C-alpha cells in the first residue's frame, strides 16, 4: 500500500491515517460516552474490536489505492482529449487526495472503489462513442461547477446538505458514464436540481 500511496505521501503518513480511522471507528463513534462507566465500557469494547476494524480499514484502503492506480494508468494510456482528461484528473484528485482516508466519511469511503471503477469504465467507452461522453459532460459540468464554487465561497465549510449534493454528483457520474456499476438510488440532473434548491433555502 505504501508503494500505491507514493504519489500522495509517505508510507508513514499512510500508516498514521490508517490508525486514525481505525481508532475513530473503534472508540469515537457517536454518541460519545458521557460518564466513567460508559467510557470504560467503550474502551473495553473498542479494544476487543480494534484489530478487526484496523484490518477492515486497511483492506478498504488497499482496494481504493489499487483502483486509483488503475484509473490513473488508464487515463495515461487512453489519451483522451484535453477537456475529458482535465475532468477525469480533477475527479481523481478530489476523490483520492493525500488525506482521503480521514477527509471522506466512512459511508462514502466504501463507495470510492466503485467511483474509481466508473472512471475506468468511462475511459474504456470514450473511444467507442466520444459524442455521448461530450453530451453527458456538458450536462454534468454546470452541476459540478456550481457546487465547487459554493465550496470556495464557504471556504471549505461543508454542511450535511452540501455533502449530500457532493456525493450525488459522483452518483450522477456513475449513471452517465458507467451505468453497469449501478447507483444505490435513482439519480438524475432533475434530482440534483431539487437538492440544490433545498441547499439554498
Is omega for the bond preceding 32 within 30 degrees of 0, making it cis?
A: no
Cα angle 12, 90, 147 (rounded to 5 degrees) comes to 110
- DSSP letter, residue 29: P
Per-residue pLDDT at 157: 87
User: CA distances (Å), 57 to each of 38, 53, 128, in order?
Assistant: 25, 6, 37
Euclidean distance between CA atoms 192 and 128, whole angstroms: 28
Per-residue pLDDT at 156: 84
Instruction: Collect the ranges in the chain with pLDDT lower than 50.
Output: none
Per-residue pLDDT at 200: 73
- In 3-state terms, what secondary structure has residue 73? helix
Per-residue pLDDT at 201: 65
Residue 14 half-sphere exposure, CB side, CA atoms within 13 Å? 19
Packed helices 160-177 and 189-199: angle between N→C axes, nearest 10 degrees: 170
Per-residue pLDDT at 59: 97
Q: Largest Cα–Cα distance of the chain, in whole Å?
A: 63
Amino acid at each position: 500500500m505504501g508503494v500505491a500511496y507514493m504519489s500522495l505521501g509517505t508510507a508513514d503518513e499512510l500508516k498514521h491515517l490508517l490508525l486514525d480511522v481505525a481508532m475513530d471507528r473503534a472508540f469515537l463513534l457517536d454518541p460519545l460516552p458521557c460518564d466513567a462507566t460508559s467510557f470504560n465500557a467503550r474502551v473495553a469494547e473498542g479494544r476487543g474490536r480494534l484489530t478487526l476494524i484496523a484490518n477492515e480499514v486497511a483492506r478498504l484502503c488497499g482496494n481504493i489505492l489499487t483502483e486509483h492506480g488503475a484509473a490513473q494508468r488508464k487515463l495515461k494510456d487512453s489519451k483522451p482529449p484535453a477537456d475529458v482528461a482535465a475532468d477525469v484528473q480533477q475527479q481523481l484528485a478530489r476523490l483520492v487526495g493525500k488525506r482521503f482516508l480521514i477527509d471522506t466519511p466512512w459511508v462514502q469511503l466504501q463507495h470510492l472503489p466503485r467511483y474509481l471503477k466508473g472512471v475506468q469504465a468511462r475511459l474504456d467507452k470514450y473511444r467507442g462513442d466520444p459524442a455521448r461522453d461530450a453530451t453527458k459532460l456538458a450536462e454534468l459540468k454546470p452541476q459540478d461547477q456550481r457546487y465547487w464554487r459554493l465550496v470556495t465561497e464557504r471556504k471549505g465549510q461543508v454542511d450535511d446538505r452540501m455533502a449530500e449534493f457532493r456525493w450525488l454528483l459522483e452518483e450522477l457520474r456513475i449513471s452517465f458514464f458507467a451505468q453497469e456499476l449501478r447507483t444505490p438510488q435513482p439519480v438524475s440532473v432533475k434530482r440534483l436540481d431539487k437538492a440544490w434548491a433545498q441547499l439554498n433555502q
